[in-house]
A and B are shown apart, each in its own frame.
Chain A
Amino acid sequence: MTRRRLALVGAVLLVAACVERLTAPGHCPEFCPSGQITVVDTLLTTSINRDSSVRGYVVSYQSALMLAAHLPGPTDTLDSRPIFRFNGFGLRLRISTADTSTGLILGADSARLQLTIVRRDTAMRNLRLQFYRLPTTIDTTTTFGAVAAPFTDSLVRTINVDTLLAQPGRKDTVTGDSVVVDTLNHRLLLSLKFDTTAARYIGTDSGMVAYGIRIAADTLASIAFGKGTVGPVLQWYLHVDSLGRPVARAPGSLAAALANFVFAPPPAPLDSTLAVGGVPSARSLLRVAFPKFIRDSSQIIRGTLYLVPAVAARGAPADSFVMEARTVLADFGRKSPIDPRLDDPIVIHPGATDTVKIEVTNMLQLWAADSTHPTVFLLRPQAEAQYLGEIRFYPSAALAFRPTLQVTYVKRFPFGVP
């Protein structure tokens, strides 16, 4: 037994004896390996070619937001107006949940409209919302001009969001409006009371109702309303005929059947510049002739894409948007499928004309690792059609300002050389 224990202890000690500690500070060049890590930095000025822009990937009704803006410019005013429509209950409504008997909807006592402002500039003051009744025929093809007339003569309500926020409990006891501040998601949930005049229930038109919003503020006004789960919701308070006697009924809330926005002026047509952003959203493709000497025998440690704006980025000052550089899985031009694995984002500030530098190290490393991968950059807004802002860069045809790629790489270490 003693022998076994001793043998066990001996084995453990022998294993412990094999611990190595070889790390020592180098005193170069005397006591360092002759080979060194060699870093090379190169600017590829002519490697980006065959670049182009395409617009129309995400249009306004496909956007996750409804954009509202009133931005006077030197030559024109960017005016964006949310429009939305609620389908109605038709001519008749069930009177009771106990049976299936229905009564004729006589009209609306009032309605409550809920809206969520999901993006706003907190420095914006005196934000006013003007609600207009729009034709119920609005749809995804409705243009700014098509609803210009109702936006002129069909004002139904005006509210001042800042005044409402200043009310005790953020409730206006006179108008019945209220606002809830969601500090977690940085949202404002507006609950607005529309009286009989503002909320007319016309059963012969199946109860459909459509509204549009114009905004105004003391400074440049630009906000975004939510859609979908945080989109407009309408609660009707109706009078229903019950055996000749009108009774009040509050059927379930209705979500918007259409939520869109229209704006003017429309984006400038695409030219030879590389456009990114706007509504409908524009993307740009940049094809890179990736040098073989970098791809095959080096390790890329940093890559930066330089883009020179051809004009100052457009958009509201507070509406900086994120542009991302991605690569594609296959180069099919405008229909190239995006590689979802990698993206390198950068914030674009409207009005800025500084050269945009995007770190694209991830993508360059991917291209170096997979020689079959298309060497194409795709530039697009991270949130497409959710900002009116747009930036345009000089293309490769503009020799003095063409896109360039700076690559820092490490040559193969001379392993095995004494």
Chain B
Amino acid sequence: MSRADRWTGERAVGIAVVAAALLTASPPVRLSAQDSQFGIRGLGTPGRWESVRSRSSGGAFAPFDPLSPLTEAPLADIGQLTATAAGGTSHRDALVGDTTTKLRATRFPLLVVAGRVAPRLAVAGGFTTYLDRSWDVTLRDSAVLRGTLERYRDEITSDGSVADIRLAAASRLSRRIAIGAGVHILAGSTRMTAERRFDDSTFRTVGQVDEVRYDGFGVSGSVLIGVVPGLTIAGWARADNRLRAKVGDTTSAVTDLPRMAGGGLLFVPSPSVRFAGSAAWRSWSNAGPGAFDTWSWSAGAEFGSGRMPFRLGARGGQLPFGPGTKAPTEFAAAAGTGRAFAQGRAVIDLGVERLERRGGILIERVWTVLVGLTVRP
């Protein structure tokens, strides 16, 4: 092993430790995750189909990132077999009135493996979080039972998610145009519990547990068009049919899933400066009462070389589920960097995101620390 290789390896381990420490540490302002209290009453909290690199720039680069499972067309430009995975720890403050609840979660929401299988054809497979359905709600209340006011404490939990398992293919039709398409299998399960403890122990504790399995199907397509050198636009669309929830052999719910469409603009004035912006629309109101169609936007930039770039960005938009007649809103700012090792065969991306969601009486403030690992063997 050469000295240079040793140095590179030790640095890699060091950075991994720093990344882990960032995931673990509890700063004075507590950090948070993908989950949201807004998703409890709806289908869940939609995942973000972005690699750490894209998410560190607010998600603006996702339509152009072959390792973000938002679109397929960028896969056409993937040079070699590449795999990426992401992890994130979120610390979330949920504020309702004067009450603040500090929450914390760790997720590994992304795995993508992509590579070229023919001179003009690249394929990718992997999964990402479609809906996060992990939450734990406690409630103190009372009810009149047998003529007496009985006080109790409820705890209803859900632990699990719906994953989006994607198989995608892309091809560059010309120097300016690339297209892609994908099929999405939605699958997942949640372990749900409902418990009620009465203060009066004459009433036994209610404890019900079940596993809810979910399935669905979707298709997507996207296109990349190079308008002029340094300026690329992207368009994408996706349709998912429905999410079926089954408890045992019984279908407990069938919920229509949204159609989605979006576009983006990538401006590369120089090899070391990149700007991007994107917007998306999702027809979540298909999901029924209490669900809203959403718009979201993002803008970001990436500076520096591919070896160690600096990224920043912001995003905003609406959440699909929430109380009242208006969709909750969210705004986030993110920054991050990356480091390539072993002649670019391994890349560690780090990001941090500050997010605020508002809807009704609830405000959520979230810190998320993201770590991504990309390998090109």
Chain A residues with CB under 8 Å of chain B are 2-3, 6-7, 9-11, 13-14, 16-35, 37, 39, 41, 299-302, 359, 361, 365, 406, 408, 410, 412-418
Contact = CB atoms under 8 A, between A and B. Distances in A.
A24 B20 contact: no
Contacts of B192: 413, 415-416
Which residue, of A2, A7, A10, A359, has the highest number of chain B Cβ atoms within 10 A? A10
B23 A31 contact: no
B196 A37 contact: yes
Interface string B7-37: 0011001101101110110000000000101
Given A19-B106, A41-B145, A299-B208, A418 B360 contact: no
Contact of B20 (A10, A28, A302, A410): A10
Given A25-B99, A30-B362, A31-B38, A415 B136 contact: no
Nearest to A3: B13
A42 to B, nearest CB: 11
B23 A24 contact: no
Given A27-B96, A412-B208, A39 B145 contact: yes
Contacts, number: 178
B104 interface: yes
Contact of A37 (B140, B154, B323): B154
Interface string B87-106: 00100001010010111111
B106 A17 contact: yes
Contacts of A41: 145-146
Interface residues of B, number: 70
Given A32-B41, A33-B41, A25 B208 contact: no
Contacts of A299: 206-208
Contact of A6 (B14, B105, B203): B14
Contact of B104 (A2, A20, A37, A414): A20
A107 to B, nearest CB: 65
Interface of B: 9-10, 13-14, 16-17, 19-21, 23-24, 35, 37-38, 40-43, 89, 94, 96, 99, 101-106, 134-140, 143, 145-146, 154-158, 192, 194, 196, 198, 202-208, 210, 212, 245-247, 252-253, 255, 287-288, 322-324, 360-362
Given A25-B138, A415-B210, A31 B13 contact: no
Contact of A417 (B89, B203, B253, B362): B253
Contact of A302 (B24, B139, B204, B246): B204
Given A24-B94, A408-B145, A417-B253, A34 B16 contact: no
A416 B247 contact: yes
A32 B137 contact: yes
